Amino acid sequence: MSRKYFGTDGVRGRVGEMPITPEFVMHLGYSAGKRLASRDWHLAKGGRPAVLIGKDTRVSGYLLESALQAGLSAAGVDVFLAGPVPTPAVAYLTRALRLQAGIVISASHNPYEDNGIKFFSDSGSKLPDEMEKAIEAGLEEPIRTMPSAQLGRAKRINDAAGRYIEFCKSTFPFDLDLRGVRIVVDCAHGATYHIAQPVFHELGADVIAIGVSPDGLNINRECGATDPKALQRAVLEQKADIGIALDGDGDRVVMIDGQGVVYDGDQLLYVLARHRMKSGTLKGGIVGTLMTNLAVEHAFAGSGIPFERARVGDRYVLEMLQKNDWQIGGEGSGHIICLDRHSTGDGIVSALQVLTAMRQENATLAELTKDLVLYPQVLVNVRVAKRFEFEKSEPVLEAKRAAERDLEDAGRVLLRASGTEPLIRVMVEGKSRERVSHWADSIAEAVRHAAV
């Protein structure tokens, strides 16, 4: 059975349209609850399975939280409500509280009109495909509410943010601090708005926070990891040493140096890999994705660091890390996984690992990345009808082949369907920016014509 509703990062879409409607989300909660209730959790006598629900700051979170809670309760599952907390906080708290699953209500970097539901297992990792397929299969079954005595109950966790702040701080070496470091952190008016500043401040940094006034509608709007221009301005105006841009649900990060230069996930991954290699703490190799800049792969090869590419999506990076028994992986978008620190990608924790490298090597980001010169990479997103299969379009494939013939071994071409939006992503990279831009536009135009 192929997955109908689950993409690479849970179920996502426009609020009020399938599948992000209260009726569907309630049914989704019920189906997930029934799958959880049917598993052998070795619960105490009379105990019920329990899940944690966290959300970002979108106004629709209130609606979807109530719908999920109703479905889970109908299936006989207890619910712990964490309120607005980052996605990685849900993963951590699910493990810390010994719960059976965690659920996040968020559409990550998408605009406020969208929302989504994603699940974590009891180990704090994304649900395996088999469980997602089982939940989807359960959506074909009607909701049959448990008898009143067996309904799930709900409890709010008032100290969820504080628990997670302490966890983030624990991932930074105890013999280091951030005294004397001036940091601007952009929380994208999202789930880290009340968390990121205390983390860095309590480690000693002088912190200026922006993007910390969520109103339910401004999440990710001209701010955060997907649009770091506001952070660049703030870093220069505040004469800060570093800027940290998080996205709406706090699982990705990009950073800015004191000169206003942006460092994406590929560059930060390179910093972490080289630092761990120098310190003798690198276990195995590094996992990137099909989108990872070719220069990063070449740099790792020159340093003798094993490198493999996973499919795009942090769940696939995690799967390859676990398969290889490695610890560090990530994406250019800023999803970075440090399995020696957390079970999932975490923007704050990843930033702390980069700051660790900077402090221990007494170096700036520019100095730590001076040997890495990224190849020009152009990404064009082409909006298409849902389920458009570019693989079956000969004009699109011919445009791709023409680009590959021209670039030869000095570049790459990648087409892929987005797992979260009705988009075809066209990526072209190579040593010549002019040729890269030309071929990206050419292929994107072929996709537009074919998708009509």
Q: Does residue 279 carry a catalytic annotation?
A: no
* pTM, 2 dp: 0.92
What is the tens place of the pLDDT at every residue in 125-173? 988 888 999 999 999 999 999 999 999 999 999 999 999 999 999 999 9
CATH code: domain of residue 355: 3.40.120.10
Domain boundary among 341, 368, 395: 368
As a whole number, mean pLDDT of residues 4-18 equals: 91
Kindly report which listed range (178-187, 307-316, 359-368) carries the lowest average pLDDT score.
Answer: 307-316
Which secondary-structure segment (H or E) carries 413?
A: strand 411-417
In the predicted structure, residue 42 carries a pLDDT above the cut 70 = no
* pLDDT at 44 (0 to 100): 66
Residues 26 and 110 in one domain: yes
Kindly report which listed range (34-48, 83-97, 165-179, 215-229) carries the lowest average pLDDT score.
Answer: 34-48
Domain boundary among 136, 158, 180: 158
As a whole number, mean pLDDT of residues 435-439 equals: 95
Residues 282 and 174 in one domain: no
Domain boundary among 125, 158, 191: 158
> pLDDT confidence of 1, banded at 50, 70, 90?
very low
Cα(110)–Cα(257) distance, integer angstroms: 26
What is the tens place of the pLDDT at every residue in 89-114? 999 999 999 999 999 999 999 999 99
In the predicted structure, residue 2 carries a pLDDT above the cut 60 = no
Number of domains in the chain: 4
In the predicted structure, residue 45 carries a pLDDT above the cut 70 = no
Q: From the candidates 108, 333, 343, 350, give the one annotated as an active-site residue.
A: 108
DSSP codes of every residue in 33-91: HHHHHTS---PPTT---EEEEEE-S-TTHHHHHHHHHHHHHHTT-EEEEEEE--HHHHH
> pLDDT confidence of 55, banded at 50, 70, 90?
very high
Range of the domain at 127: 11-158
Residue 411 CB neighbours (<10 A): 21
Write down the mean pLDDT value for the chain.
94
DSSP codes of every residue in 146-213: PPGGG---EEE-TTHHHHHHHHHHHTS-TT---TT-EEEEE-TTSTTTTTHHHHHHHTT-EEEEES--
pLDDT greater at residue 418 or residue 256 = 256
Contact 336, 251 (CB under 8 A): no
One-letter amino acid identity for 115?
N
Residues 353 and 420 in one domain: no
State both tokens at 245: 């841009």
As a whole number, mean pLDDT of residues 50-74 equals: 98
Residues 73 and 41 in one domain: yes
